[in-house]
Structure 1
Amino acid sequence: MARLITPDAPLARLAPDRLWRLPGVYAPQADTRLLAGALRREGALSGLDVLDIGTGSGALALYAAHLGARVTALDVSRPAVWSTRINAWRAGLRISALRGSVEDLAGRRFDLILSNPPYVPAPRPLPPGRGAARAWDAGSDGRHVLDRMGRTAPALLRPHGVLLLVQSALSGTEATLEMLEAAGMRARVTDRAVIPYGPVLRSRLDWLRARRLIGPDDTMEELVVIRAEHS
């Protein structure tokens, strides 16, 4: 059954008004809370190395650190990195926030990887190189970043490491599952939530309908969390 996570006290810290953000940095939303709920069920993270790819304001990185993990937070956006550093300082949590891409971490290994990547289908064939929209726009099929993660994330995981990834069903849930399985990971959907279309999807309804990504009367989006475990 589709559901939204009901925040407990630590999850309530992911509310946008609890985190400091520079202009253009992605604010925690339903996808952030859904992924945080999946992370919570992984249990205590004490002593584990966790990587948060596309950290934004650092909400998920902070939650992982709250659960005891040693956290590396990664983002291509300089404002996002500084927002994460400030929020970690305000929360009294130790997080290594780095600007760059996953290729910059070659040679490192993690026990768990989190990601709330850009996944929204957009009229442009490639994601924007700058501006707030690069936090959500992901090419015409919404898979530009998802496919890249499928190629790179498994190599960053230790044996039996776990990837937790949130995306929209509009960008192809089955495609992500098949991609991760092909990379030698055991992948499944663990969480679903159905939410009303937000401002971004509402702004491109005609285009989404013309692409037959949504029906003429659709008003709700399904979010999914995919859990993949390295063999």
Structure 2
Amino acid sequence: MRLLTLPGVFAPISDSWMLAEAIRQEPLGPTATALDLCTGSGVLALTAAQCGAATTATDVSRRALLTVQLNAIRHGVRVRTLRGQTFAPVVGERFNLIVSNPPYVPSARPCVPRYGRSRAWEAGNDGRIVLDGICAGAAAHLRPGGVLLLVHSSLIGVDTTLYRLRETGLVDVEVRERMNGPLGPLMRAQQLTGTIPLGIDEEDVVIIRAVLPKFRTST
């Protein structure tokens, strides 16, 4: 998939392509709905749309949403774009699939930046500000039997993510895929600030999958 990325929009790297492949493995069809949180270039939203889902993409960046719209036109699919933080633009809506490659790089700043390109990756001192919000809100936005797919680095706590998803009532919470490799340039840059210890040279990028149970209706 060839993508256009406007200036200031983070181009997808290996973690996004890894998650895109996981989306293709989900049984989506013409009646399915999908939500891509923190969409960026829109690669995940476009993948879900190509798989047949009616897809919505959210982001705080106007340029990111314009990038998604342009890429959707280029690839002949339709994606609804909404501006706002994670679930804020879709209050009261539920989806068969929710996906996200959120900002997850630990940073010297205790909060997420309000402006600039670094909004695409900086996520507070522990790298979990955006991720924890997604973990907390996913169950309320999934249809029964719906699936959540997340990708992030092992440096910010895989077990923490698994625990928080289970606490919200999601089941079959598991690491679906794991890819080991050297720290990327964004993580290396944070080592210079002391946010990430200098002795760490590698990380795992993990895809986490979780499901909202199908509840039985009373008769």
Q: Compute the TM-score of the two structures, normalised by the length of structure 1.
A: 0.87
Deviations along 1:127-180, one digit per CA (max 9) or x if unpaired, are 111111111110000110011112211101111111000011111111110000
Q: Which structure 2 residue ranges, 5 or more long, are not aligned?
A: 214-219
* CA drift at 1:46: 2.9
Matched, 1:191 2:177: yes
- Give the structure 2 partner of residue 112 of structure 1: 97
- Give the structure 2 partner of residue 95 of structure 1: 79
- Give the structure 2 partner of residue 74 of structure 1: 58
User: Quick one: distance in 1 between partners of 2:47 and 2:33?
Assistant: 13
Secondary structure of the residue aligned to 1:203 is helix
Secondary structure of the residue aligned to 1:194 is strand
Answer yes or no: is the 8 Å Cα contact 1:150–1:180 preserved in 2. yes
Matched, 1:138 2:123: yes
Amino acid at match of 2:49: A
Answer yes or no: is the 8 Å Cα contact 2:109–2:125 preserved in 1. yes
Answer yes or no: is the 8 Å Cα contact 2:191–2:198 preserved in 1. no
**Residue identity (%):** 46
Q: Compute the TM-score of the two structures, normalised by the length of structure 2.
A: 0.92
Between 1:33-42 and 1:51-60, the stretch displaced more is 33-42
- Give the structure 1 partner of residue 203 of structure 2: 221
Match of 1:172 among 144, 151, 157: 157
Answer yes or no: is the 8 Å Cα contact 2:83–2:89 preserved in 1. no
* CA drift at 1:97: 1.3
Q: Which structure 1 residue ranges, 5 or more long, are not aligned?
A: 1-12
Amino acid at match of 1:104: P
Amino acid at match of 2:112: P
Between 1:169-178 and 1:99-108, the stretch displaced more is 99-108
User: Quick one: distance in 2 between partners of 1:80 and 1:59?
Assistant: 11
